[in-house]
Amino acid sequence: MMSKSAPRETVSKDVPLDDIPINSTLPSNPSSASIKALNRDPEGPQHNSADDQTRMTVFPDTHFDHNPIEAPQPPDHTVRRKLEGKHIFMIAINGTLGTGLYVRSGQILELGGPVAVILSFLFLGFLTWAVMQCIAELLCLWPVPGAVPLFVRKFVDKELGDTVGVAYWYTYSIGFSALITTSASVLNYWTADVDGFTEGFVYVALPVTLVIINAVKVEIYGWIEVVTGVIKMAFLTIIIICLAYIIIKSDVSSNSSWRDPFTYDTNAADGWFEALMMCFSVAIFAYAGIENFAVSVIEARWPSTSPPITSTSTPYRSVKRTLGFTAFYLPIIVAFAYTVSGLLVSLGIERNNCGLQRLSWLENEECPRSEEDEKKGKFTFSPFVIIARGSEIYGLHNAFNAFIVFTALTCANTNLYVASRTLFGVTRNIRSADAMPRALAWFGVTNNNGVPIRAMTFTALAFCWVPFLQKKETFNTGSDLGEFVEILVQMGSVSIIIIWACLCLAYIRFYHCIHKFDDTLAEAGIYLARDRREHQCNEYPYQSHWQPLLAYLALAGCLVILVIFNGVFLWKRFNVIPFLSGYLTTIVFVAVWLLLKVYKKSWSAWVSLDSAAVEELIRDLNELRDRSLEQPPRVPRSFWVSVKEFFKWQTRPRVEQ
């Protein structure tokens, strides 16, 4: 190990448990040495050399009765850590590659023209890459349950972190219902004249099937994600190849939008640059979900707590390899696929094609479309299907439509997984005798297979009514109910931008506090800043690029989208639909945050990050990480025992005053 300016204490003393006060800090190195808790795999090699013994760190048990977020977890509040790196990567792939590309690319083309398609996907690609860098660095240090709201809670504000947790669950819960609705609209291409098919099969049978898939053991679920992810990427590759062939060989390329690359929808904007800013906002939906590896880490197969091995072991390097690879390359892969696909779409179809989706609140006199036309079938918003239908390749449009259905359903499956794990991660640490917290704590329990079945079932049912609203008006987003569904979905897109901004702010505060108090923390044995500065890969698993400038750019990009780009829709004329879509989420988010502050009587805007607070914070995060890696034995629980515990708070004896 490289020398440091201050000596490191790599072995902590054994302290009798009775002598450790509640909420006491640990007498261990909270930086590099404590990270070695990640380097222990019961199936890994045993290292018993003298050198290895000097690197061992003892973690005495402590109790957190007054600090619920670090509370020791009973067996029924833990999940099975069985996911491997390939599973985590494919979960991120499935959560990102949804219908945003296949539908929103056409809407962006109609709104801002072909140049806007390219710039929108590139801009959002860079933004997501920057955000992922911030998340990955924190997550590699502390791969803990509920990481997304926890980092905000620890480094920014407690109430803000709680609000982020609710917003994150809402994003993926409403996303699950929205993707079911999208699947129905895509299937309507074939089944418009089949009575009861949408209500009976799409809105009931398919969600139930996805719930069953999510209920299996996580190791099986992980392989389902791998298989569906590989199929999805293969489908996208086939679509790109087919589009390129069509454009080269057929007459469809004569309809290219590049004859006037800066054309735009004059009904929506007064200038091309205004339309471009709108396109940036629309493209968010296509990238939502790219950060979900921060949720799947809750079930990742990281090393367990014993026996200790060296920091250069293969299990330890897998932390950086899995999360680092996903954070660095996934946004690049997605942005490349989206940009190439968008370019091919713009070459294969005109911007003013009547089949492309338009902003629902605008009058479209050039392409009037009635409900009767949609009921005839063969109606689609996807530019990919429109191009395939105009080609000379028999059945290609049906194949493309089937690809999109598969993409929507697999993405919905992943959204249900992410939302349920988010709800579980937020509620698993609740310990309170009050009625409402105890009711919420009911969702923080897993079944005998380690699956948070309660959180998953509630998530699936929370917005199950949304697809039924769309059926009455036959997927016409211009109808009143269609506009309502569109507002709910767009609120999810805005919510993810707010969450990204909060995570960037959390990283900025983390970065500055460890560097500001570098010398002071070093005296306490915390070497995070020095390890990062000296590129100590063994002690500091992942170092993101160009920090803190990159975090500031990502934060600025998120704020510009929230404040300016979402408001561009109102520049030409005010309309209640874009106003609610763009700003209702932000208003509700801020309102919930302020209400929580009033309820908890917390009047400070930020958590204190002085040297003592930072030292305690890092020790707490290390302790939480080490405890989250524990796998206590499970005791089988019957269904009726779970139901009884849910209503147990109602029968608790009242304490006489």
Predicted confidence band of residue 631 (pLDDT cuts 50, 70, 90): low
Q: Which of 22-36, 209-223, 433-447, 554-568 has the lowest mean pLDDT?
A: 22-36
What letter would DSSP give residue 200? I
The per-residue pLDDT for 656 is 38
Rounded distance between C-alpha atoms, residue 349 and residue 276, angstroms: 19
pLDDT band at 199 (very low <50, low <70, confident <90, very high): confident
Q: What is the pTM of this model?
A: 0.82
The two tokens of residue 39 are 């380097």
Q: Compute the Cα dihedral for 174, 178, 181, 183 and give only its sign.
A: negative
Model confidence at 23: pLDDT above 50: no
Collapsing DSSP states into helix, strand and coil, what is residue 300? Answer: strand
Asked if the bond preceding 548 is cis, omega within 30° of 0, the reply is yes
What's residue 176's pLDDT?
93
- The band of 408, judged by pLDDT with boundaries at 50, 70 and 90, is very high
- The domain ranges of the chain are 107-303+313-650
Position 104, amino acid: R
The confidence score (pLDDT) of residue 317 equals 57
The residues, ordered by sequence, that sit 6+ positions from 155 with a Cβ below 8 Å of its Cβ are 505, 506, 507, 509, 510, 513, 607, 609, 617
| Residue 632: per-residue pLDDT | 52
Question: Does 65 score more than 80 pLDDT?
Answer: no
pLDDT tier for residue 575 given thresholds of 50, 70 and 90: confident
Specify the amino acid at residue 500.
Answer: W
* Mean pLDDT taken over the chain: 78
Helix, strand, coil percentages, rounded to 5, for the chain: 65, 0, 35
pLDDT at 103: 86
pLDDT at 173: 93
CATH, domain range 107-303+313-650: 1.20.1740.10
What are the tokens at 402? 């089937």
Beta bridge partners of 83: 300
Residue 38 DSSP symbol: G
